[in-house]
Structure 1
Amino acid sequence: MRLLAEFTTEPFVGEGASPAHATETLRVVEAAGLTCDFGPLGTSIAGEGEALLPVLGQVLVTALEHGATRVSLQVERVDD
């Protein structure tokens, strides 16, 4: 099954460099070879469920280990 996931890590940081809890989760997604869209208010990733779901667990752990106080996550099935 094909999935689309969107996650946001907090606390939000205004101007300047993105916080480690955001940039380190981006590295996790990129290392997994998944398509992603990194933005100031969140990241979206798409892929097959068997590849994407294990990465989401790594994203949660990485965000919390790097200072996130909250991670919001949405997952949607987008099969044709």
Structure 2
Amino acid sequence: EIGGWVADTPGIRQWELWGIEPGEVEAHFIEFRPFVPYCHFPDCTHTHETDCAVKEAVAAGLITAQRYHSYCRILQDFAESR
């Protein structure tokens, strides 16, 4: 079991992940796991690479577009905060 907590506090407008690197984000999207080994590139970020099995799974409806977009937003937040 993975621990954590959710803060529902009025006035909080942004959040940040601590103790996690951008390359570790995919591991927290468990629905990606069956597809990651089939990506063409071993260091695939699942955002812009060709032959990405995760993006193909999204297109096929095997991963919801909402979850995929959440993943992309998290990576974008990392990029903007550094």
| Bucket of the pairwise TM-score, normalised by the shorter protein | 0.3 to 0.5
Q: Comparing both structures, which one devotes a greater share of its residues to strand?
A: 1
Give the TM-score normalised by the residue count of structure 1: 0.39
Q: Comparing both structures, which one devotes a greater share of its residues to helix?
A: 2
RCO higher in 1 or 2 (8 Å CA, sep ≥ 6)?
Answer: 1
Give the TM-score normalised by the residue count of structure 2: 0.38
Larger Rg: 2
